[in-house]
Amino acid sequence: MSEPSDSAASSPDTEDVTPAKPGPIRRLYDWVLSWAESPYGTLALFLLAVAESSFFPIPPDVLLIALGVAIPANAFRYAAVCTLGSVIGGVIGYYLGFAMWASVEPLVIPTLFSAEKFAKVTGLYAEWDVWIVFTAGFTPIPYKLFTIAGGVAKINLAAFIATSLVGRASRFFLVALVIRRYGDLARDLIDRYFNLVTLAFTILLIGAFLLLKVVLH
């Protein structure tokens, strides 16, 4: 009996199908999630939280959720690390506005914020004092805008730290509580409905900026 021909071996029925390459957002999600099993995952979360509170545009919630979903038992520990880093970053942002505003203003305005919006945020401190820091720390409103403006307005530093701690902890520990309670379910939903999750996150992000626009109107 003759040997099977090469053409038969490479017929469409037996040909391997190469899986579709994941998109850039999905690859970024998988990369972030891989930090959960890395000894540097907690450090990365801390540094991201520090940077986001003073100048970096990406919120730490993404990494907090990724790490927490991967290991729900550590969710509260990640929330504590995120809170500490965020408050430290907030103090850095405060210092930039308090002592170095003349030097950093050209880097901040209009690159990060418009002069008009920044002036309105500074004015909010005259009306609400440090209580506005809690609102910025808990809600999706860009926290860094209020940390820098708080320094420019020269509000009380101790009160700034206290309200930042309460606001940031309330936000991050609420996320951790949901992850701890529904961690496995949350991970399955993200893996199964990733595109819908990213769409929902985008809608929430847009909503946050619209809320900021209303507040500063």
**The dihedral of CA 139, 142, 146, 147: what is its sign?**
positive
pTM across the whole model: 0.66
- One-letter-per-residue 3-state SS of 124-180: HHHHHCCHHHHHHHHCCCCHHHHHHHHHHHCCCHHHHHHHHHHHHHHHHHHHHHHHH
Q: Where do we find the tokens 């209020």?
A: 146
Query: What is the spatial distance between Cα 198 and Cα 23, in angstroms, rounded to a whole number?
Result: 12
pLDDT digit of tens for each residue in the chain (217 aa)?
A: 445 555 444 444 544 555 566 666 566 566 666 766 778 889 989 998 998 887 776 778 878 887 888 788 888 999 999 999 999 999 999 998 888 877 777 777 766 666 777 777 777 776 666 777 777 777 666 788 788 888 888 888 998 899 899 889 988 998 888 888 877 676 666 556 655 655 565 566 556 655 655 655 5
